[in-house]
A and B are shown apart, each in its own frame.
Chain A
Amino acid sequence: MKRLIRHLVVAYATTATIAATTVAAATPQELLASYVQASGQRADAIAGQTFFNVKHGRDWSCATCHTASPLTTGIHATTSKTIAPLAPSADAARFTDAARSEKWFRRNCNDVVGRECTASEKANILAWLIAVK
C-alpha cells in the first residue's frame, strides 16, 4: 500500500511538472527574443556557430555530441545514444519548451564551458540554429 501511494506521488509530480512546462511553452523565435532582451545585445549567428564548434578549455565542444551540423543526428560521447538534430528546421519540437531548453543549456554549458552560458551566448547559438536550413 505504501508502495502504491509512492507510485501515486510520482505520477502526481510528473503530471504537475508537465502542466508547469506547458505553460512555459514557446516557439524558437520567442525564446530567441527573450534571450536577446535579457542580454541587451543583438544576436550574432556566426558567433553562435563558432561558440558551438570550438572547445572552451575542456574535453568537449557542443559539436562533440551534436556534430558540427545541427541538421545531423548526433551521438552522445559517453553512451553512444543517438541525439535528434538541434535545428528547428530538422526537428520541429526543438526549442518549443522554454523550461526544457533552459535545462539543457544549463547542463550542457556546465559540461562544455564549465559554467552556465550567458543570455548573449544562448541568443547567438539559437540564432544560428534557427537560421540553418
Chain B
Amino acid sequence: MDTQRYDIHAARLARLVVKLLIAAANVGVTSSALAESGSRQPPPAKYIEECASCHAPFPAPMLPAASWKAVMSSLDKHFGTDASVDPTTTQALSTWLTDNASRRTTTRPPQDRLTLGADFLRKHREVSSNLWSRPSIRSASNCAACHTNSAHGSFSEHDLRIPK
C-alpha cells in the first residue's frame, strides 16, 4: 500500500517536472525568436568564417529570401570572385540566411546587392556621397570602416565611428 502511494506521488512529480521542462523550453524558443527578429542573434561561426573573410558578415534580414537563394546558388561567380564553399556548408548557411531573411520586403534589389536594397539605403540616407568616396571607406560593402564591431555581426549605432 505504501509502495503504491509512493508510486502515485512519483508519477505526479514526474509529470510536473515534464510540464516545467516544456514550459521552460517554450520560453527559450520564444526569446530566441524575439532576438532573431531584432537580428541580435550572433551569426553562426561558419557564416563568419566563410563569408566574413572578404566582407563583413552582412545581416540576414537586409535581403529577402529569394535574393539569398540566388546569391548562395552562384557563389562560384560572386560579384566578380570565386567564393565557393563546400556543398554541406552552402546548404546549411543558405537555410540559415533564408530563415532569417527580411520580413519587411520580398523585393529583390538590383543584382541582389544588399547595398542597393531599400533597407540599406534607408538606414544610410544620412550618409553623403562625399563620405562614401573617402579613401578610408571607398566601398559601401566596407562595413568595418564605420561599423567598428561589424566583424562579429554587430551593426549597432553605438559602435559607429566615421573615419576621416
**Contact yes or no, B33 A3, CB < 8 A:** yes
**Contact yes or no, A79 B84, CB < 8 A:** no
- Which residues in B have their C-beta under 8 angstroms from that of A81? 54-56, 142, 144
Cα A79 to Cα B84 in complex, Å, equals: 17
Interface size class of B (residues with CB under 8 A): 20 to 34
Contacting residue for B84 out of A3, A13, A80, A107, CB 8 A: A107
Cα A78 to Cα B78 in complex, Å, equals: 11
Chain B residue nearest to A1 (CB atoms) is B29
Give the secondary structure class of A's interface. helix
Tell me whether A42 is interfacial, beta carbon within 8 Å: no
- Which residues in A have their C-beta under 8 angstroms from that of B142? 79-81
One of A4-12, A26-34, A123-131 at the interface: A4-12
- Chain A interface residue count, CB cutoff 8 Å, equals 24
**Contact yes or no, A80 B96, CB < 8 A:** no
Chain B residue nearest to A107 (CB atoms) is B82
Given A10-B44, A13-B46, A81-B54: A107 and B81 interface contact (C-beta under 8 Å): yes
Shortest distance from the beta carbon of A45 to any chain B beta carbon, whole Å? 26
Shortest distance from the beta carbon of B69 to any chain A beta carbon, whole Å? 15
Cα A17 to Cα B39 in complex, Å, equals: 25
Given A4-B29, A17-B88: A10 and B82 interface contact (C-beta under 8 Å): no
Chain B residue nearest to A100 (CB atoms) is B49
Given A6-B95, A10-B95: A79 and B82 interface contact (C-beta under 8 Å): no
Shortest distance from the beta carbon of A23 to any chain B beta carbon, whole Å? 15
Chain A residue nearest to B91 (CB atoms) is A13
The residue among B45, B81, B83, B96 with the most chain A CB atoms within 10 A of its own CB is B81
Tell me whether B119 is interfacial, beta carbon within 8 Å: no
Tell me whether B141 is interfacial, beta carbon within 8 Å: yes
Shortest distance from the beta carbon of A40 to any chain B beta carbon, whole Å? 27
Cα A3 to Cα B55 in complex, Å, equals: 26
User: Please, what's the 1-or-0 string for A10-27, where 1 marks a CB less than 8 Å from any CB in chain B?
Assistant: 110110011000000000
**Contact yes or no, B55 A76, CB < 8 A:** yes
The B107-158 residues at the A interface (CB cut-off 8 A) are 137-139, 141-142, 144-145
Cα A80 to Cα B140 in complex, Å, equals: 10
Can you list 20 residue pairs at the A/B interface with Cβ under 8 Å? A3-B33, A3-B99, A7-B96, A9-B92, A10-B95, A13-B46, A14-B45, A17-B46, A17-B86, A18-B45, A76-B55, A79-B139, A80-B141, A80-B145, A81-B54, A81-B55, A82-B144, A107-B81, A107-B83, A107-B84
13 new A-B contacts, CB < 8 A, other than A4-B32, A80-B142, are A6-B95, A6-B99, A10-B46, A11-B44, A14-B46, A17-B86, A17-B88, A76-B54, A78-B79, A79-B55, A80-B139, A81-B142, A81-B144
